[in-house]
Amino acid sequence: MARLIESLATTEPLAELFSDKSVLQALLDFEVALARAEERVGIVPHGAADRIAEAGRADGFDVAALFRDMLRAGTPAIPLVKALTERVRAIDPEVAGYVHWGATSQDAADTALVLLLKRAQPILAGGISRLEHALRRLSEEHKNTVMLGRTLMQSALPVTFGLKAAGWLGAIHRSRTRLDSSFAGTVILQFGGASGTLASLGERGSAVALALAKELGLDYPEAPWHSHRDRLANLLCDCGVLTGSLGKIARDISLLMQNEVAEVAEAGGHGRGGSSTMPHKRNPIGSVLTLAAACRVPGEVAAFLMAMVQEHERGAGGWQAEWPIVASVIQSTGLAVASMAEVAEGLSVDTVRMRANIDATHGVVFAERAMMLLGPKLGRDIAHKLLEEATRKSVAQGKHLSEVLAEMPEITSNIDPSTLRDLEAPEQYLGSAETFREALFSSANEKSEKER
């Protein structure tokens, strides 16, 4: 269950994944799998693993007591192993001594975290797939929908909403590719014993480790990685980049939803997007939640990178800092993904308003087009000066740029009337917008096909 203080920072599936019961069960799963691996190799007696598995269910453990004892021990594993050992002793006293045989505390803690990350990956991937599908639809449906481009928050040359959505799609798909790779590199076993050599298991250490990895469905690394946190760091950095890209989409949408712009709107209803005091409001809640996540994650990623500097074979303070950081980053990323998937799926696009906002500029955004027509004939400097004068008159007199230009002999002697009439047609000044949109769209589709 999610805590109220985390209600704007996670989703229900991820809150459940990182709940006390789920984390406890991941720790217990490591201990049970270790017993099964060692039984297979012949280190613990036959049947011992079943007795440990019988005791290794999260139900019945005193979580509050474990919390207090873990804080005093400085590691989750020591109190957990003690409690598990007592539960096994109640079932079979002879087996109790084989709990956690040959492992160290960090083996249990790291592998439990990896097991949680393995379960988190499909949750995030499912949300990203939803988002990509919705962005593809938006891009295709609006490939011919013209809208103002905006640079430095000011009106600029027209673009298409299809191109904008394809740009969002491209960024998300690139992040997905990186995230899939970093997840694959992270879900690996941690098992090294006291100093990372498995000396307590003698010549059978590698055999146990291989059996343990197979038991847990994890990859087997070249060696234990107790103080080498680069794989986890890569994952969190990729989460940071993904969340930043999601935040960029959320920023765009929230700006396009402003009443003065009103070109898109998130889906409302069912308690979504209202105001406690202003009934008229339709707030960009999905974008807001995503922007909040994009505010949190960079600092958390930085904190993890700082914790990477760990001493010798086992760090003091570094890996102990990681659990809450990793949990928060994954949950924030998952919330941002889920929020933007919901936004994209329900986004309404006001094509009429988009065109009206172009018209409201009175054509001054097409000054560059006029400049490109006049430049070869009059020279760039003269053409630029004339267009500056024309745009000032357009703004001051509230007249369209083409009307002002039609009154200037220097212009009409170099641009024919039909060209002037079409000067402010946005469809005729989109350049390579559709070429770029198709390239982004195709690239994401091709990579998706290869991944499938």
Q: Which residues on neighbouring strands pair with residue 219, listed in sequence order?
A: 188
Q: Which residues on neighbouring strands pair with residue 66, listed in sequence order?
A: none
Q: Report the alpha-carbon angle 35-39-43, nearest 5.
A: 100
- Measured CA to CA, the distance from residue 240 to residue 298 in angstroms comes to 6
CB atoms within 10 A of CB 440: 22
Is 314 considered catalytic here? yes
Q: Which of 254, 348, 234 is nearest to 294 (CA)?
A: 254
H/E element holding 296? helix 285-307
- Measured CA to CA, the distance from residue 58 to residue 36 in angstroms comes to 18
- Measured CA to CA, the distance from residue 374 to residue 385 in angstroms comes to 11
Is 78 within 8 Å of 72 (Cβ atoms)?
A: no
CB atoms within 10 A of CB 306: 11
Which of 119, 314, 353, 355 is an active site residue? 314
Backbone φ and ψ of 156, nearest 5°: -135, -165
H/E element holding 149? strand 146-151
- Measured CA to CA, the distance from residue 253 to residue 347 in angstroms comes to 9
Q: Which residues on neighbouring strands pair with residue 265, listed in sequence order?
A: 348
Question: Dihedral of the CA atoms 84, 85, 91, 94 (nearest 10)?
Answer: 150
- Measured CA to CA, the distance from residue 452 to residue 450 in angstroms comes to 5
Is 275 considered catalytic here? yes
- Measured CA to CA, the distance from residue 349 to residue 266 in angstroms comes to 9
Encoding tokens for residue 55?
Answer: 């005791």
- Measured CA to CA, the distance from residue 69 to residue 409 in angstroms comes to 87
Question: For the chain, what is the total number of helices (H) and then of strands (E)?
Answer: 19, 4
Q: How deeply is 449 buried, as exposed, middle or buried, from its count of CB atoms within 10 A (0-12, 13-18, 19+)? A: exposed
Encoding tokens for residue 43?
Answer: 């280190």
Which of 3, 72, 206, 275 is an active site residue? 275
Provide the strand spans (E) within 17-68.
none
H/E element holding 148? strand 146-151
Residues labelled catalytic = 275, 314
